[in-house]
Amino acid sequence: MSQGKVRVRYAPSPTGYPHVGNIRTALFNWLFARHSGGSFIVRIEDTDVNRRVEGAVEAILDGLRWLGIDWDEGPEVGGSYGPYFQSQRLDFYRKTARLLIEAGHAYTCYCSGERLARMRAEMAQRKESMRSYDRHCRDLSPAERAKLEAQGIVPVIRFKTPLEGETRFNDLIKGEVTFDNTTLDDLVLLKSDGYPTYHLANVVDDHMMQITHIMRADEWLSSTPRHVLLYNALKYEPPLFAHLPMILGEDRSKLSKRHGATSITEYRDQGYLPEAMMNFLALLGWSLDDRTELFTREELIKHFSIERISKTSAIFSMDKLNWMNGVYIRKLSVDELADRLLPFLDKGLPASISRPLSREYIKHIVPLIQERLTKFDQASSSCDFFFTNELTYDANLLLGKKLSKEDAVRGLEAALERLQAATFEAHSLEETLRSLAAELGLKTGDFFGLMRVATTGRTAAPPLFQTMAVLGKERCLKRIQAAAKKLKAEVQDFR
Ligand code: GLU
């Protein structure tokens, strides 16, 4: 079945917001399709009506679009095409379920919820291995069925799982996998509300959509023998299967919110770059050579292969993601970074700062923060002093570890005077302030620290002289003056 054009799909259920694991599945399928010149399909598996989550479909599609994962076909919507929705394809599943009954591979089951609950409780009491169904309706006669129908009971349709034998398939990642049929239940194919279960809809669609490779999360492995039996019963040729390695947290437990496994759109909102995110996700279970870490999108497409998907679990490291995002941030040009940063600053800076923010001004700030930025949502708090009118900080910070109040006031007043005539350009600012420190008999480290707090309100900030140059003379002088005043008013002279 692998000959011919590759066709793969990403088939999320909109039962929650898509987390990194889901999107990793989408990405691997997409990379494989792009690598092989095949087609990538998005199919929303929304037949579990009770578990649908409002907004989940939008979050899934937004996440894909943000990463640039595009799909190749689907029903027409407003000039372009949307993903497939299983809820719009119910007739296919119902028809197939009826065909399976006619062929003797499925049957109608009239058991009520209460009966099933009772049956399970009794089994538990007898310590029998738990089955979800005891096959009570499997061998009812046509007359018995007719009688139950006449009572108005709407049945479910169940698959007649073979009572013995084994089901085998070859997984492209795990190798040969074998399940004993006696461990498999007579699973429900069509529910009494007329909606298919995941198993039926998934198999019907993968066949109708001519999917060649199913690449999905490891957790679906136990569903696969059921699907293989269904393919056989329907006389469909099964696609090839590849179950992707699990993603674990750094403590080797199942990945959860605690490890940072939030929805993909939250990463976007925190200011991760899509190109960094794609690179990071691609390495969760795939590698080229166990060494290379940085891949452009084109390189990923060029090199991706199922053979290089690992059998062992992948470890999700937030530190690695942050590192990688920093690498990608440093690769951006000043213009690009300014453009991408602007909406985050707009959102994060206090409302008191007048809008619109100046792109030109941001372009001056960018080179000062680019080196140390790991993600964009930090930017507004780390550089708000470039924008605010008045700084708020504890006056004691001005003294640093060593300065006396007297020296600090002296330093600020001397700087105020000297800087009136200075050119606000990093080099000459440095020269001016360095010689001033010597004249005052202050250590440069102490004096520069004082200037840093006075002009930015913080002890750690981007390089001092460049920062002062960007802030400009007027603002710096005002701040130095305010600092001297603050120091006099707020700090006791105890040193
Ligand atoms: N709807 C399933 C999910 O939510 C799809 C599993 C599969 O790819 O077959 O992940």
Q: Average pLDDT of the chain?
A: 95
The whole-angstrom separation of Cα 447 and Cα 403 is 8
pLDDT reported for residue 74 = 93
Q: How far is the CA of 11 from the centre of ligand 1 (A)?
A: 5
| Residues above pLDDT 90, as percent of the chain | 90
State both tokens at 20: 């990194």
| Contact by Cβ (8 Å): 18, 169 | no
Q: With a 6 A CB cut-off, is 186 part of the ligand 1 pocket?
A: no
Task: Indicate the pLDDT class of residue 261, thresholds 50, 70 and 90.
Answer: low
Q: For residues 249-275, give the mean pLDDT.
A: 88
User: What pLDDT score was predicted for residue 372?
Assistant: 93
Whole-number Å distance, alpha carbon 205 to ligand 1 midpoint, is 12
Active site residues: 257
Closest CA to 436 of 448, 424, 427, 426: 448
Mean pLDDT of 324-332: 98
Whether 211 and 108 map to the same domain: the answer is yes
Q: Using the predicted structure, report yes or no on whether residue 119 has a pLDDT greater than 70.
A: yes
pLDDT of 491 strictly over 80: yes
Find the range with the poorest average confidence among 63-77, 244-258, 307-321, 423-437. 244-258
pLDDT beyond 70 at 2: no
How many domains are there within the chain? 4
- Mean pLDDT of the region 463-492: 96
Q: Is 325 a domain residue? A: no
In a domain, 322, yes or no: no
Q: Which of 357, 386, 415 is the last residue of a domain?
A: 386
pLDDT at 124: 87
Ligand 1 in reach of 202 Cβ (< 6 A):
yes
Atom of ligand 1 at shortest distance to CA of 15? 4
- At 347-372, the pLDDT tens digits run 999 999 999 999 999 999 999 999 99
Residues 300 and 441 reside in one and the same domain: no
Among the atoms of ligand 1, which is closest to the Cα of residue 25?
8
Q: Is residue 469 part of a domain?
A: yes
Q: Note whether residue 18 is domain-resident.
A: yes
Strand (E) or helix (H) holding 228: helix 224-234
Whether ligand 1 lies within 6 angstroms of the CB of 12 is answered as yes
What's the whole-number mean pLDDT along residues 123-127?
87
Whether residue 46 has its Cβ less than 6 Å from ligand 1:
no
Domain-embedded: residue 464: yes
CATH of the domain at 459: 1.10.10.350
Q: Is the pLDDT of residue 276 over 80?
A: yes
In this structure, of 215-219, 225-229, 490-494, the range with the lowest mean pLDDT score is 490-494
The answer on 120 and 203 residing in a single domain is yes
User: Based on the domain organization, do 120 and 183 belong to the same domain?
Assistant: yes
207: helix, strand or coil: helix
Within this chain, do residues 120 and 191 fall inside the same structural domain, yes or no?
yes
pLDDT of res. 381? 92
Any domain includes 320 = no
- Which residues, in sequence order, are CB contacts of 305 under 8 Å at separation 6+? 32, 35
Same domain? For 94 and 238 the reply is yes
Q: Which domain holds residue 213?
A: 90-244
Ligand 1 atom 3, closest CA = 12
What is the chain's alpha carbon radius of gyration, rounded to the nearest angstrom? 32
228/101 same-domain check:
yes
Question: Do 64 and 117 lie in a common domain?
Answer: no
Of 7, 13, 218, 226, which is best to mutate to test ligand 1, by the most ligand atoms within 8 angstroms of its C-beta?
13
For residue 214, which atom of ligand 1 is closest to its CA? 8
Segment (H or E) for 148: helix 142-150
Q: Do 251 and 240 sit in the same domain of this protein?
A: no
Note whether 304 and 425 are same-domain residues. Answer: no
Where a domain ends, among 289, 315, 341?
Answer: 315
Q: How many CA atoms lie within 13 A of 52 on its CB side?
A: 14
Cα(481) to centroid of ligand 1, in Å? Answer: 64
pLDDT at 494 over 80: no
Domain contains 324 = no
In this structure, are residues 13 and 219 in contact, taking their beta carbons and an 8 Å threshold? no
CB of residue 407 inside a 6 A radius of ligand 1: no
Burial class (CB in 10 A: 0-12, 13-18, 19+), 235: exposed
**In this structure, is residue 295 part of a structural domain?**
yes
The average pLDDT across 119-136 equals 86
CB of residue 16 inside a 6 A radius of ligand 1: no
Please check whether residue 383 is in contact with residue 466, taking contact to mean a CB–CB distance below 8 angstroms.
Answer: no
Residues 156 and 234 in one domain: yes
CA of 236 to the centre of ligand 1 (A): 19
Could you tell me what percent of the chain has a pLDDT over 70? 98
Q: How many angstroms separate the alpha carbon of residue 48 from the centre of ligand 1?
A: 12
pLDDT > 60? residue 3: no
Q: What is the mean pLDDT of residues 37-42?
A: 98
Given strand 156-159, what is the order of strands in its sheet? 106-109, 156-159, 188-190
Same domain, 20 and 159: no
**Atom in ligand 1 nearest the alpha carbon of residue 198:** 1
Beta strand segments in 231-293, E: 240-244, 247-248
Q: Does the CB atom of residue 216 touch ligand 1 within 6 A?
A: yes
| Residue 495 confidence (pLDDT) | 52
pTM score of the predicted model: 0.93
Q: What is the CATH number of the domain that holds 155?
A: 3.40.50.620
Omega before 18 within 30 of 0, i.e. cis: no
The SS3 call for residue 426 is helix
CA distance 192 to 157: 8
Question: Would you tell me the crossing angle of helices 274-282 and 20-36 to the nearest 10 degrees?
Answer: 90
State residue 367's pLDDT score: 96
Task: Return the best residue to mutate from 46, 220, 244 for the ligand 1 pocket (most ligand atoms within 8 A of CB).
Answer: 220
* CB 45 less than 6 A from any atom of ligand 1: yes
